[in-house]
Amino acid sequence: MNTSSVPCALGIDNTFGPVVKGCRDDFDFTLLFEQGIMTMAPAAFLLLLMLPRIYQLNMLNLKTKRNWVYWSKCILLLLSAGLQLAILVLWIVSSGQRNRTSIASSSLAFGSALLLCVLSHFGHTRTVRPSTIIETYLFFSIGFDAVQLRTLWKQSATTLAAMLSASLVVKISVLFLEARSKKDILTKSYSNLSPETTSGIFGRSTFYWIKPLLMAGFTSTISIEESPPLDKELSSETLHNRLQRTWDRSSHSKSHALAISTFRCFRTPLLTAVVPRLCLIGFNYSQPFLINRVIDFVGETGNASSANNGYGLIGATVLIYIGIAISTAIYKHKTYRAITMIRGALVSIVYSKTLSIQDGAFDNAAALTLMSTDVDRIASSLQTIHEIWANVIELSIAIYLLQRQVGVATVVTVGLVIMGTLISTQLSRRMGPNQALWNKAVQHRVTVTSTALGSIKGIKLMGLTEHMAHQIQDLRVAELELSKAFRRLIAWMNLNSNFTSLVSPFVTFAVVYGVRGSLNVAQAFTSLSIITLLTGPLSSLLSSLPSFAAGLGCFDRIQKYLLSPQRPDRRGFLGVAAVPSIDKGLLDPSTEKPSRHSLEPFPTSSICNAQMPRGKCILRPNGSGKSMLLKGLIGELEIKKGSLVINTNSVAYCAQDSWLINASIQQNITGSFVGVPEDPVWYQTVLNSCALDIDLASTAEKDQKIVGSGGINMSGGQKQRVALARALYSRKTLLVLDDIFSGLDLRTSNLIVERVFSRNGLVRQLGMTVVVATHADEQTFAIDLSKSWTTDSVVPVKSNKTSSVPLGKRPDLWYDPKKDIVLSVAGLQYKKNGGSLYVGPPQEWEFQPKDDGSVSWSLHTGDSDGPAAHLQTCSGQYVSTPDAHFIHGGFYYRYDANGKIISQALDQMFISNFTSDKYENTTLSNTLNILRTDGEGQYVPVFGTDGVILYFGGQTPTDPSMRTLVPSGLDVITVYDIGSKKFYQQAATNAPASRMNFCSASVGTPGKNGTYEIFIFGGRYSAYDHGVRDNEVLQKVYILTLPAFTWIEAPNKAEHWRTTHTCVLINNRQMISIGGIPGDNLGNIATMTEGDALPNGLALFDMTTLEWTTKYDPNAAAYKPADILWSDPALEQIFVRKDATQNPSGTSTGTSTGTPTGTPSGTGSNDKSTSTNTNEEAPKSKAPIGAIVGGVIGGVAVLAILAAVIFFWRRRTQQQKNLPQIGPQNKDYSSVSQVPQDTSEIWTMGNIPETSGNPIHELPNSVKAFELGPGK
């Protein structure tokens, strides 16, 4: 029956209803319901929220300008209030149409309209976005007024309907104006806000605020500068401070303390997603009712009422699915916004902790892995955090609704739910541990990859690119293997979650059919929709629980990192009034004991009480503790004892290894990623001071050139200058520079010193305090040997070293007389900008000596087809002859499968033939104890057909990995016969204790009855020797007499402890010791900060008088063995070398290091024994010379001479017939006079006062000797 024209009975609209019966086609609400619920409820909520909000806004400052929108809203809102007043009056006078809520609802609407004018005023002027309260109220009010307007038109209340229509139009206009963005009318201080911040609730709900960004991305490429600003609530600083405060107040001993603190800190952003999620539940579970009603409607007969019901179902469908879309959008937006805030806070707090932990406490990639992998997995687990509680509610509702439809069959579905839950619980327990193992493997791979990328240039030069690629690939494979367990759990989890949704409908309908025997269409489709709503949340719940558990494991990994010990900073800071003057200096001396940092072991870890005056620099060799001292200044090292006081905490620091980001040069210097520098004039001044303007002028990109990851696109010197420019640009009070000149050539270094550190330099203009640590390893020094000098007054000639020459400790160095060049290879190689050990390229370098002492280094290729190990060896025994250079033993470094540097014993002897410029190599064996490291070797030309080489001292590796080293004693001498290429062993008597890192030099006397002596000095006890203290520095000189093979201790008046030094014979009889590490008067390795025991690192030893001296004599008399070598002069007549020739100078070359004192001893007495008077001559023999004794001695001497002549004649004849020679066959190696011995200059490379383990060498013909290498 059509009731659209039938008037409602009197009193129907005065009932609550809510639906009318018998009129208006039964498709309308009662007027009482509409006014009581749809008008009064929104007005009441508005009044409750409006007054506190007005009070709050009144306390804020103005943020917008008043424009036409403001005045339009004011006029329209006043008009709306007037219309509401008119409606109120009409209800008062229309007694026949009103109900008991009409006047009350109109009065609330009128009051709300008046207050809405006030709220709109404050909301427009005091906020940066449209008012959420006004927009929400108007949105619902317009919808509700539309429903009431239809009822009034149906009732034929024309006047009221017309007034309400006008009010509705005004409200729509006001809503349109209120929803407009205020971006264009914000004051200057609020003009740079993000679009999301200035968008209203409609813009945020529909994501309309993203439209400008999407359009810009569609039309062009968006750069960082063009991207919109970030919401202040999402800034890292805000998020970090917020979480840090919560974390500091929490109890760190609790389980999952960081997760709890994070959720507590961001509970408001997390809870904002609860309301839209509840709305989504409501809309989702309206679907079964809608489906059921639609099916019933389809089965009904057509009439006017059913037509209205159809329209209603259309409206309900639109409302439900639009509601699902909007509530889902808001819910996801709120969830991901909270995740973004948590991500930013966690990354910031990890980064902050990284800046405060002890240097080296964690792997370099630990923080990177936590901030990337772990935080990403936490974010992934939080995506479904609201699903856990919401799915439980949805499951409960679904089970209830399903029970109403299918009855007992619900038990089956519930059983499947319980089974899936139990399986999911078991899977969740295993997720965390397995993911932790995976993350650890990822961290290890990232560490190795990062290290390889940081050394990519060296890797490419050494040809190890493919090797490192395989290593990283193997690590990736191992990582994937460890991830399989976790991925299997994910697969089982997905199978478990999907099993219920696939099986439940079939099982449920089967049970229903079995119990009831039938199932109608409405029940079937309704039940199916409910089962879908049940299995969907179930699947989500079962996958959310393991994911959340895995996220907790990542929280725990970050928590462990945050709870690691923090770097204690015990530095003291002087107040402004107590700032030191220029005379007082930077550091105050402490009356306490010297401080000692906690990173052990380190030989120079004690820093004495001292002031550091302004204008001074720290000039020490590598390894002496400069970097440790500077790290102490900036608070990076713990001070165990004593105190350190500085006058400021405004510090700029330049490390040896420059830290650069993958950005432009300008961005690395200024730290700004937007536009030009804030101070362009100052920026250009800094570029000029650091000599960067010269480099930038030659590039097309200028200062916009991208430096690459770790500065890979720049040279080492350029990276250091960019770091220095960044420090200067910051204008800090204290400038701390750690070896910033190590990668610079001499010209650039001098230019920077002039522009930055000179009297008129930049730092003096700024009034900066500068602490510079450096060493002089970039120069080659030459000492003139043609003039007299003393060790404390000699002035060397300096030459700049080519920057590409690798820094090496104890490199191999020799002179090739065929080409008149000095060659250098190997040694322990260190990075110039970082100081750390690395596997250097197999290179051989050379320079040609000049009369003025200058040096120009260049790359000498050598034998490119030969083995490369000889170019990387260190701590071997290196000996040169007139025709060849011998490299024996030692070890070299290589990378293992994990990219770590390990040592490898060198089981070969390499021979560099000066004539062919080729290397020959011979594989050694350990049968004669000839594998050796840290020992010495000397060439003795007067024995054998081509001379012999004697090896002694050092250590012997028992396996290639050098895990075990045994001392190579001085009581057994390894003899290598150059002519036969064979090794022999010879026992030596009265040998001193075994030692390593000592030096040696050799010299012979002319004549057939002349002797040949080898001198050794200093060193330290072998690390595994018995009965002596490990690493004790020695101080005596010992002499090995040949051919007697007897050791004799030389008396020394002074005490000199020294190790890892170098010795060589200069003039006719003096042995010079240079560099090395001094020991104290107890034999301990001295700390480099305590100074050098030898002036300028040089010491001279007279091989004839056996005395230490400070004066060099270029015209010294020929060498004569000291009387101490022979206890009876008659013995000199017995040892006649029939194969020896006249040697006018009696000189020979050698290498070594050390310091001496002592008395003669027969069996290797303690190096610390009290010295005797070395000026006192040895006592003369008092034995009577009788006829019988003379006859016996004469007979023995004649027989011995005859036997020796026959032996050597037969041996030489056999060798000449059967064995090849290294040099020309017609050369007589038995004569020392073949090597010209005039010397006038000594060459050295490195820091003279503190050179450690750098070889020096005498240069025949060109009259020079030299030393190479930094004092590492």
Q: What is the CATH number of the domain that holds 360?
A: 1.20.1560.10
Contact 785, 630 (CB under 8 A): no
Q: What is the pLDDT of residues 704-720, one digit of tens each?
A: 888 887 787 888 888 88
Show which of 562, 589, 609 is a domain's final residue.
562
Mean pLDDT of the 753-771 span: 79
766 & 805 share domain:
no
- Strand-pairing partners, residue 797, are 782
CA dihedral 198, 201, 205, 207 (to 10 degrees): -20
Specify if 1202 maps to a domain.
no
What's phi and psi for 1241, nearest 5 deg?
Answer: -145, 150
Per-residue pLDDT band for 675 (boundaries 50, 70, 90) equals low
- pLDDT at 1056 exceeding the cut of 70: yes
Residue 445 shares a structural domain with residue 338 = yes
Do 616 and 551 belong together in one domain? Answer: no
Give domain status of residue 875, yes or no: yes
Examine residue 217 and state whether it is found in any structural domain, yes or no. no
**Do 937 and 986 fall within a single domain?**
yes
Do residues 244 and 182 share a domain?
no
**Residue 1252 pLDDT > 50, yes or no?**
no
Residue corresponding to tokens 């309704």: 526
Structure tokens at 380: 């992934």
276 domain residue, yes or no: yes
Same domain, 482 and 509: yes
| Residue 1209 placed within a domain | no
Are 612 and 746 members of one domain? no
Domain count, the chain: 5
Given a cut of 70, whether residue 877 has pLDDT beyond it is yes
CA distance 41 to 60: 29
| Residue predicted with more confidence, 447 or 841 | 447
**pLDDT of the residue at 1242:** 44
Residue 674 clears pLDDT 90, i.e. is over it: no
Report the distance separating Cα 678 and Cα 1047, nearest Å.
74
pLDDT of residue 912: 86
Could you say which of 649, 675, 699 is where a domain stops? 649
Query: With 90 as the cut, is the pLDDT of residue 342 above it?
Result: yes
Does the pLDDT of residue 775 top 70, yes or no? no
- The pLDDT tens digits of the residues spanning 81-114 come to 999 999 889 888 877 677 888 888 889 999 889 9
Angle, in degrees to the nearest 10, between helices 375-382 and 521-562: 150
Whole-number Å distance between alpha carbons of 451 and 996: 34
More confident of the two residues 70 and 228: 70
Under 8 Å between Cβ of 1141 and 1206: no
Q: How confident is residue 261, by pLDDT bands cut at 50, 70 and 90?
A: very high
- Quick one: which of 901, 828, 916, 902 has its CA closest to 866? 916
Ranges 380-384, 796-800, 976-980: which has the least confidence: 796-800
- Give the residue, 866 or 483, on which the prediction is more confident: 483
Q: Does position 270 have pLDDT exceeding 90, yes or no? A: yes
Compute the mean pLDDT over every residue in the chain, rounded to the nearest whole number.
75
Using 50, 70 and 90 to split pLDDT, how confident is the model at 1176? very low
pLDDT for res 891: 80
User: Which of 593, 628, 649 is the C-terminal boundary of a domain?
Assistant: 649
Minimum mean pLDDT range among 443-457, 898-912, 1072-1086: 1072-1086
- Per residue in 961-1018, pLDDT tens? 777 788 888 999 999 999 888 888 899 999 998 888 899 999 987 665 567 899 999 8
- Local confidence band at 1207 (pLDDT 50, 70, 90 cut-offs): low
926 band by pLDDT with thresholds 50, 70 and 90 = low
Which one, of 1235, 1210, 1213, 1211, lies nearest residue 1223 by Cα?
1235
Pick the range with the lowest mean pLDDT from 131-140, 186-195, 344-353, 726-735: 186-195
Q: Are residues 811 and 663 in the same domain?
A: no
Q: What's the rounded mean pLDDT across residues 892-917? A: 75
Query: What does the pLDDT look like over 1104-1138, one tens digit per residue?
Result: 989 888 889 888 888 888 877 665 555 555 444 44
- Interval 531-540 mean pLDDT: 77
pLDDT at 620: 56
Q: Is the residue at 664 inside a domain?
A: yes
Confidence tier at 173 by pLDDT (50, 70, 90): very high
Nearest alpha carbon to residue 486 among 554, 535, 386 = 554
Whether residue 749 sits in one domain with residue 643: no
Per the structure, the complete domain to which residue 643 belongs is given by 569-649
Q: Which residues of 445-478 are buried (b: 16+ CB within 10 A; e: fewer)?
A: bbbbbbebebbeebbeebebeeebeebbeebeee
Going by pLDDT thresholds of 50, 70 and 90, the confidence category of residue 579 is: very low
Is 223 inside a domain boundary? no
**Residue 314 pLDDT > 60:** yes
pLDDT digit string, tens, across residues 816-863: 888 888 888 756 665 554 445 556 667 777 888 877 777 777 777 644
pLDDT for 955: 87
- Tell me the CA end-to-end span of the chain in Å, nearest whole number: 107
How far apart (Å, rounded) are the C-alpha atoms in residues 1252 and 840?
19
* Residue whose token pair is 């709306």: 80
Mean pLDDT score, 161-184: 90
Residue 876 has pLDDT above 70, yes or no: yes
- Least confident stretch, 236-250, 555-569, 1134-1148, 1162-1176: 1162-1176
DSSP label of 1093: S
Can you read off the two tokens belonging to residue 945?
A: 């057909």
pTM (2 d.p.): 0.54
Give the closest residue to 133 by CA, choosing from 32, 199, 203, 53: 53
Nearest to 1252 by CA among 870, 830, 937: 830
Same domain? 274 vs 393: yes
pLDDT of residue 618: 56
- Same domain for 271 and 159: no
State the pLDDT at residue 841.
65
Local structure of residue 1099 (DSSP, 8 states): E
Please indicate, yes or no, whether residues 962 and 998 belong to a single structural domain of this protein.
yes
202 is a domain residue: no
Instruction: Give the domain CATH number at 771.
Output: 3.40.50.300
Token output for 1264: 């020079």
| DSSP code string of 269-280 | HHHTTHHHHHHH
* pLDDT at residue 464 greater than cutoff 60: yes
Contact criterion met (CB below 8 Å) for 1058 and 1007 = no
